[in-house]
């Protein structure tokens, strides 16, 4: 029997005490369970067999390759899909490029020629989350000296493959050989894909800002992070110009504000100074364009409206100033 | 003295009594926790003791290397082996030989993302001609194994040359620890393909690798790993160096007839390839890969894992110091 003079806690104190006891009991139970839980080889924790790619109905979504099979081809293997955790199970070390560029999902499938089953192609549809990201992986992997294809606004073909950036999707079709019939089938696939998948209204404005004169065809590329080694310099489009037989790299990046563009331009200029870069005198008409010379190459950057623009590598000061002036004029046409 | 029951304040005696009870409870809880604690992980049903990979090198043949230029693989590989004393120097009568190929992707041979089937077939035939009791061809591909071996042409080439293809399955993997390794500890390795084998020959193509810089004979051992090996990409240089520590091969053959210059390791376009017309064979995998780097327009210093493997005693980056035998097979 309780002593009448024993102090008693309030109901609230009792409830709090009980709650704490329950939490402690839960922690203890979890510890015991974990202690005796064997992690077998084969589980992700133990480095076991990797999870199999899914062949779930998800692949029948909007961009599933099977929706766009052209005439003359049949499905050769089931559709597969890979997410960020499993992408390397399909493309191994190349996954890093996609994962660093906003990769969401890969859907892929092989299709064989109905007349010759030894002729086949594999289609890879990468959902990159945004048109910018899709263009990024498209442009960074562009093969040299290839021709644009007319299957889409952003497309090129090699001897055995077709590469397309359409909306948030980057599409690759790769055939086993160099069959003209299969090449036609790849193009037909791409046209059906472009017609059947909405690309969205969003345009990549930077592509139209680069002046066209002396621009090397197919040279506009987009990097996602820390371009030129400058911290924070992301979402940068570069283009190569050939002036007087020499290559010049120009760049553009649309920023959140005019202030950010100016600050990044300053950061770009300052980046080279500790490595021996020197500011050289310039009578460039472009406001804020400071030219830096390092190891015989010239660089400059400036902010204009919400754009950061500049020249990364030019052989001389005059060319640097000329390209910067062209960029500035085009930006003035585009507006803020 | 009576006390108001609503008064929750404690006197000294009650405080001490309660403190003693709380301490007792805590002591009992700690004793219980100590009783159930097991600092050693439970053994489970798998083999608990990690295995090692045997040393398949031949001490008397260390530091041998040949570089053959030519366009035809069957010809250049023969010449490369002849320059090293012939296949008989490496494979004895009755030997069981594992040919570790790169069958990583379900891609056609034309893309050069995998070991060339004609090259594989020639090496398998040479091993059989040297009296090998059996020739096994194996790899744990990145993609579905059956598709990889079939679509790469490796399966057909191997069978045609009298070799047996061993596809990876869960039961063939065993936890393995590489002595001195930081990452490859208790890692599932395709030990089933190595069981009973006397000689191991690695055959790999020269490829650009987006993450590692290049994929050649050392990276080829990645295909012996199981598990969530993609996590190893977080420290790819250490991983490749430890792969070289894991496998001391009898011989490696690096196929630089066609090199994948960009967008590796998968490639995808014939435009990613360049005709580099070189076949390299050697017993020093670091030296062979160091030379292979030059076919990709890189210097050995561009691939940090080479120096790391050399520092671990797996070979030398200075391939010229081995005085490789050079043959022109054009």
Residues in chain B: 330
- Tens of pLDDT, residue by residue over B68-102, are 999 999 999 999 999 999 999 999 999 999 999 99
User: Cβ B108–A177 below 8 Å, yes or no?
Assistant: yes
The 3-state secondary structure of chain B reads CCCCCCCCCCCHHHHHHHHHHHHHHHHHHHHHHHHHCCCCCCCCCCCCCCECCCECCCHHHCCCEEEEECCCHHHHHHHHHHHCCCHHHCCCCCCEEEEEECCCCCCCHHHCCCCCHHHHHHHHHHHHHCCCCEEEEECCCCCCHHHHHHHCCHHHHHHHCCCEEECCCHHHCEEECCCCCCCCCCEEECHHHHCCCCEEEEEEEEEEECCCEEECHHHHHHHHECCCHHHHHHHHHHHHHHHHHHCECCEEEEEEEEEECCCCCCCCCHHHEEEEEEEEEECCHHHHHHHHHHHCCCCHHHCHHHHHHHHCCCCCCCHHHHCCEEEECC
**DSSP category for residue A315:** S
Pairing of β B199-209 and β B96-101: parallel
Q: Which of A5, A32, A93 sits opposite B212 (nearest CB)?
A: A93
Which of B326, A235, B211 minimizes the C-alpha distance to B222?
Answer: B211
The answer to whether B294 contacts chain A (CB < 8 Å) is no
Q: Provide the chain B residues 104-123 that lie in CB contact (below 8 A) with chain A.
A: 104-108, 110-111
Q: Residue written as tokens 């086993």?
A: A176
Q: Which of B211, B230, B269 sits opposite A89 (nearest CB)?
A: B230
User: Cβ A160–B110 below 8 Å, yes or no?
Assistant: yes
Tokens of B151: 């679509």
Rounded distance, CA A199 to CA A190, Å?
Answer: 13
* Per-residue pLDDT at A283: 81
Residue B26 C-alpha, separation from nearest chain A C-alpha, in angstroms? 12
Fold of A205-334: Protein Transport Mog1p; Chain A (3.40.1000)
What are the Cα distances from residue A59, in Å, to A78, A88, A129?
Answer: 10, 18, 16
Q: For all residues of chain B together, what is the average pLDDT?
A: 92
Rounded distance, CA B302 to CA A1, Å?
Answer: 83
Least confident piece of the model among A226-230, B123-127, B315-319, B326-330: A226-230
pLDDT at A123 over 70: yes
Domains of chain A, residue spans: 57-196, 205-334
- What b/e sequence results for A286-311 when a residue is b if at least 16 CB atoms lie within 10 Å of its CB, and e otherwise? bebbbbbbeeebbbbbbbbbbbbbbb
Highest mean pLDDT among A15-19, A29-33, A115-119, B320-324: B320-324
Using pLDDT thresholds of 50, 70 and 90, give the confidence band for residue A39.
very low
The answer to whether A35 contacts chain B (CB < 8 Å) is yes
Tokens of A150: 């007319």
User: Cβ A7–B5 below 8 Å, yes or no?
Assistant: yes
Which of A114, A124, A122 minimizes the C-alpha distance to A181?
Answer: A114
The answer to whether B153 contacts chain A (CB < 8 Å) is no
Residue B248 C-alpha, separation from nearest chain A C-alpha, in angstroms? 23
* Per-residue pLDDT at B145: 94
- Tens of pLDDT, residue by residue over A173-217, are 999 999 999 999 999 999 999 999 987 766 777 888 899 889 988
Residues A243-254 have a mean pLDDT of 90
* Per-residue pLDDT at A40: 31
Is there a contact between B192 and B88 (Cβ–Cβ < 8 Å)? no
The full DSSP string for A121-183 is EEEEEEE-SSHHHHHHHHHHTPPTT-EE-TTSSEEEE-SSEEEEEETTEEEEEEESS--HHHH
Q: Provide the chain B residues 164-223 that lie in CB contact (below 8 A) with chain A.
A: 170, 173, 175, 187-188, 209-212, 215
* Per-residue pLDDT at A6: 52
More confident residue, A229 or B163: B163
Contact list in B for residue A94 (CB cut-off 8 A) is 210-211, 263-266
pLDDT at B302 over 50: yes
**DSSP category for residue A62:** T
pLDDT at A226 over 80: no
* Per-residue pLDDT at A50: 41
Residues pairing with B248 in the sheet = B55
Question: pLDDT exceeding 90 applies to what percent of chain B?
Answer: 80
User: Cβ A159–B231 below 8 Å, yes or no?
Assistant: no
Most A CBs within 10 A among B266, B267, B272, B273, hence the mutation to make, goes to: B266
* Per-residue pLDDT at A1: 43
Using pLDDT thresholds of 50, 70 and 90, give the confidence band for residue A234.
confident
Using pLDDT thresholds of 50, 70 and 90, give the confidence band for residue A336.
low
* Per-residue pLDDT at B21: 85
Q: For all residues of chain A together, what is the average pLDDT?
A: 85
pLDDT at A51 over 60: no
More confident residue, A159 or B143: A159
* Per-residue pLDDT at B149: 97
Tokens of B89: 């120097």
Tokens of B70: 């030519």
* Per-residue pLDDT at A54: 46
pLDDT at B260 over 60: yes
Using pLDDT thresholds of 50, 70 and 90, give the confidence band for residue A34.
low
The answer to whether B25 contacts chain A (CB < 8 Å) is no
* Per-residue pLDDT at A9: 61
Which of A248, A193, A212, A202 minimizes the C-alpha distance to A65?
Answer: A193
Using pLDDT thresholds of 50, 70 and 90, give the confidence band for residue A282.
confident
Contact list in B for residue A28 (CB cut-off 8 A) is 29, 33
Q: A277: alpha, beta or left, given left = phi > 0 and alpha = psi -120 to 50?
A: beta
Fold of B59-328: Rossmann fold (3.40.50)
The answer to whether A174 contacts chain B (CB < 8 Å) is yes
Residue A35 C-alpha, separation from nearest chain B C-alpha, in angstroms? 7
Q: What angle do CA A245, A246, A247 make, to 5 degrees?
A: 130
Contact list in A for residue B236 (CB cut-off 8 A) is 93
Residues B100-117 have a mean pLDDT of 96
Report the predicted TM-score, pTM, of the whole model to 2 decimal places.
0.77
More confident residue, A39 or B317: B317
* Per-residue pLDDT at A43: 34
User: Cβ B233–A94 below 8 Å, yes or no?
Assistant: no
pLDDT at A138 over 80: yes
Q: Environment class of residue A199 by beta-carbon count within 10 Å: exposed (0-12), middle (13-18) or buried (19+)?
A: middle
* Per-residue pLDDT at B176: 95
**Crossing angle for the helix pair B304-311 and B236-246, to the nearest 10 degrees:** 40
Rounded distance, CA B317 to CA A209, Å?
Answer: 47
| CATH number among 1.10.540, 3.40.50, 3.30.1460, 3.40.1000, domain A57-196 | 3.40.1000
Highest mean pLDDT among A7-11, A331-335, B287-291: B287-291
Provide the 10 A C-beta neighbour count for residue B179: 10
Most B CBs within 10 A among A41, A112, A159, hence the mutation to make, goes to: A41
pLDDT at A334 over 90: no
Is there a contact between A112 and A120 (Cβ–Cβ < 8 Å)? yes
Using pLDDT thresholds of 50, 70 and 90, give the confidence band for residue A10.
confident
Q: Find the closest chain A residue to B219 by CA distance.
A: A93
pLDDT at B299 over 70: yes
pLDDT at A322 over 80: yes
pLDDT at B186 over 90: yes
Which of A95, A122, A125, A89 minimizes the C-alpha distance to A107?
Answer: A125
User: Cβ B170–A49 below 8 Å, yes or no?
Assistant: yes
Contact list in B for residue A145 (CB cut-off 8 A) is 271
């Amino acid at each position: 029997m309780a002593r009448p003079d024993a102090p008693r806690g309030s109901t609230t104190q009792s409830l709090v005490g009980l709650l704490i006891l329950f939490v402690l009991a839960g922690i203890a139970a979890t510890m015991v369970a974990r202690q005796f839980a064997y992690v077998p080889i084969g589980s992700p924790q133990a480095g076991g067999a990797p999870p199999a790619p899914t062949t779930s109905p998800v692949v029948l979504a909007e961009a599933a390759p099977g929706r766009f099979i052209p005439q003359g081809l049949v499905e050769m293997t089931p559709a597969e899909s890979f997410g960020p955790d499993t992408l390397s199970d399909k493309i191994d070390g190349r996954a890093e490029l996609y994962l660093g560029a906003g990769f969401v999902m890969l859907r892929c499938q092989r299709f064989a020629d109905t007349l010759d089953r030894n002729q086949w192609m594999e289609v890879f549809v990468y959902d990159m989350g945004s048109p910018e990201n899709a263009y990024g992986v498209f442009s960074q992997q562009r093969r040299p000296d290839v021709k644009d294809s007319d299957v889409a606004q952003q497309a090129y073909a090699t001897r055995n493959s077709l590469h397309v950036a359409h909306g948030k999707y980057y599409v690759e079709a790769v055939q086993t050989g160099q069959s003209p019939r299969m090449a036609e089938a790849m193009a037909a696939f791409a046209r059906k894909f472009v017609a059947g998948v909405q690309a969205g209204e969003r345009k990549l404005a930077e592509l139209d800002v680069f002046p066209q004169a002396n621009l090397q065809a197919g040279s506009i590329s987009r990097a996602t992070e820390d371009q030129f080694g400058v911290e924070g310099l992301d979402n940068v489009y570069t283009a190569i110009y050939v002036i007087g037989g020499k290559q010049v790299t120009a760049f553009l990046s649309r920023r959140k504000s005019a202030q950010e563009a100016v600050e990044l331009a300053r950061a770009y200029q300052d980046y080279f100074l500790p490595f021996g870069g020197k500011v050289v005198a310039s009578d460039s008409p472009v406001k804020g364009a400071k030219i830096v010379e390092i190891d015989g190459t010239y660089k400059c950057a400036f902010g204009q409206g919400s754009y950061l623009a500049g020249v990364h590598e030019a052989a001389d000061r005059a060319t640097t100033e000329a390209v910067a002036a062209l960029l500035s004029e085009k930006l003035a046409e585009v507006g803020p | 003295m009576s006390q108001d029951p609503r008064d929750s304040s404690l006197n000294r005696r009650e405080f001490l009594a309660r403190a003693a009870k709380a301490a007792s409870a805590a002591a009992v809880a700690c004793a219980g926790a100590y009783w159930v604690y097991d600092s050693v992980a439970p053994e489970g049903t798998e083999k608990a003791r990690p295995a090692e990979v045997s040393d398949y090198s031949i001490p008397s043949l260390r530091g041998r290397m040949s570089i053959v230029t030519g366009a035809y693989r069957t010809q250049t590989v023969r010449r490369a082996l002849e320059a090293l004393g012939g296949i008989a120097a490496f494979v004895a009568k009755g030997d069981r030989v594992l040919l570790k190929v790169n069958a990583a992707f379900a891609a056609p041979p034309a893309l050069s993302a995998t070991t060339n089937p004609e090259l594989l077939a020639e090496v398998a035939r040479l091993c059989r001609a040297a009296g090998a009791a059996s020739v096994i061809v194996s790899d744990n591909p990145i993609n579905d194994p059956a598709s990889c071996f079939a679509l790469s042409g490796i399966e057909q080439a191997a069978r045609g040359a009298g070799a047996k293809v061993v596809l990876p399955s869960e039961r063939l993997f065993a936890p393995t620890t590489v002595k001195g390794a930081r990452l490859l500890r208790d890692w599932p390795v395709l030990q089933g393909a190595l069981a009973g084998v006397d000689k191991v020959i690695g055959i790999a193509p020269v490829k650009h690798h987006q993450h590692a810089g290049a994929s050649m004979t050392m990276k080829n051992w990645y295909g012996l790993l199981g598990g969530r090996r993609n996590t190893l990409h977080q420290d790819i240089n250490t991983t490749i160096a430890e792969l070289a520590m894991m496998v001391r091969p009898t011989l490696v053959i690096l196929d630089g007839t066609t090199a994948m210059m960009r967008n590796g390791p998968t490639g995808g376009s014939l435009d990613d390839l360049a005709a580099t017309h070189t076949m390299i064979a050697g017993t020093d995998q670091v030296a062979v890969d160091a030379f292979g780097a030059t076919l990709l327009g890189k210097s050995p210093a561009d691939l940090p894992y080479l120096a790391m493997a050399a520092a671990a005693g797996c070979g030398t980056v200075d391939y010229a110091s081995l005085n490789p035998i050079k043959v022109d097979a054009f």
